[in-house]
Structures are given as structure tokens and as C-alpha cells.
A and B are shown apart, each in its own frame.
Chain A
Amino acid sequence: QKEVEQNSGPLSVPEGAIASLNCTYSDRGSQSFFWYRQYSGKSPELIMFIYSNGDKEDGRFTAQLNKASQYVSLLIRDSQPSDSATYLCAVTNQAGTALIFGKGTTLSVSS
């Protein structure tokens, strides 16, 4: 069974701090990696995708990928209360058809 593991949290950070979210995956054949944000009662919203080892930055968000360690992370700089949500890590299966999700990490940003 291919798995994606995330710390369920909650992860609590003060406003303006850096939030660090981590994810490990078991399938070495996974090629694409995604972070989705999900507010309570809503559907997942794509934040970042990353395909190559290293860092990818988009505004306050940085995704980091290390395929050798099978590790993906998401950094959120200058965290805002509006960032409070569940963050889902997802990786593609080897066929590239399905996303395999972790259970999500709940982030709480206090003002």
C-alpha cells in the first residue's frame, strides 16, 4: 500500500512566523508532488506543485523536494490568521493518474 505520511498537528504558530509542514511518501515511482490547502467544510485548493529536487518559491510559500529521502515540505513565511487550515500533501502514483493524499496537517495561526 503506497502511503503518504503527515503529522496531523495541530501546528500552532504566531502571526508573522514561519510555518513548516512536512510529508514523507513511500512510492519511489512518484514523479509529481502537490500541496493543497483545505478550509473547514470546503474542497482542497492547490497551493504549490513541485517536480524536481530542490526548492520552489511562490510568494510566501516555498515547497522543498528531496526524492532521495522521499520527503516534501512546505514553508509558509509571514504566516497570517487566514492561513489557518488543513494542508494536504499529495503525490502521484506511478501511472500518474491518481493523487495519493496524506491525512493533512492542521495549521493554526494566532494573531
Chain B
Amino acid sequence: ETGVTQSPTHLIKTRGQQVTLRCSSQSGHNTVSWYQQALGQGPQFIFQYYREEENGRGNFPPRFSGLQFPNYSSELNVNALELDDSALYLCASSGQTSGEETQYFGPGTRLLVL
């Protein structure tokens, strides 16, 4: 267990709806990254939050947005859901390991868009 938690575990939405996914980082970690993993693919980087600011963003449209709170927990919001948004959404928190950032993943939220 990494100490990273995510909620909910599973979610079913319909096209056009909005969804909010939540993540609590591992104790002592101040950085949270979000990834999307489609079936049979590797995770794709959505964005990273460091001390409540966006610290990098992947190739995802603006309808994917996020927040980080003072306790370093984070939310991923997706507006105007599309069928292709169906995927496993992974949150990873970062800490210092031998001076480098190592990302530890939570259990994920599986989103199905109908």
C-alpha cells in the first residue's frame, strides 16, 4: 500500500455530464500528478499540482481541470464527458527518494462514460 487514496473506485456517467475525482496524497508528499490510462495503454500524463499550483500539463483539453488543497489532496474535474474519456484515472503523489522525485500511485478510479 502506497498511502495514496482515491475516490470513488468506480463511476458511470453519460456523455456530456461532468465528473469530479478525488485523491489524497501520501503523508509528507506535496505533489500530486494525474494520469489517464485507457485499456491496453500506458498511463498518459494529464497534469501535476505542486503546493496548490499547476506545475505541468500534458496534451489534454481545457475541459480537464484540477485543484490542489492546502492539505495537498487534489481533485480532477472533467467537463462535457465524451465516450473516449472512459478509462482508469490514476493519481500519484511524489516524495523525495535519494534526492529524486518518485511517484507512487493510488488504486485509481475507473470511469465509464455511456
Contacts and interface: CB of A to CB of B under 8 A. Distances in A.
Interface of A: 4, 31-32, 34, 36, 42-46, 49, 51, 88, 90, 92-93, 95-104
Nearest to A1: B59
Contact of B100 (A4, A44, A51, A93): A51
Interface residues of B, number: 27
A49 B100 contact: yes
Contacts, number: 62
Interface string B77-112: 000000000001010100001101111111110000
A43 B42 contact: no
B105 to A, nearest CB: 5
Contact of A99 (B33, B98, B100): B33
B105 A4 contact: no
B42 A45 contact: no
A97 B56 contact: yes
Contacts of A49: 97, 100, 102
Nearest to A89: B42
Given A43-B108, A44-B90, A88 B42 contact: yes
A101 B43 contact: yes
**Residues of B contacting A: mostly:** strand
B105 A98 contact: no
Q: Lowest 5 CB-CB distances: which A-B pairs, in order?
A: A101-B42, A97-B56, A98-B45, A43-B105, A43-B108
B48 interface: yes
21 contacts: A32-B102, A36-B105, A42-B108, A43-B90, A43-B107, A43-B108, A44-B43, A45-B2, A46-B103, A46-B104, A49-B97, A49-B100, A98-B48, A98-B56, A99-B35, A99-B43, A99-B92, A100-B45, A101-B42, A101-B43, A104-B42
B48 A97 contact: yes
Interface in B47-89: 48, 55-56, 58, 88
Interface string B17-35: 0000000000000000101
Most buried by A among B33, B40, B43, B97: B43
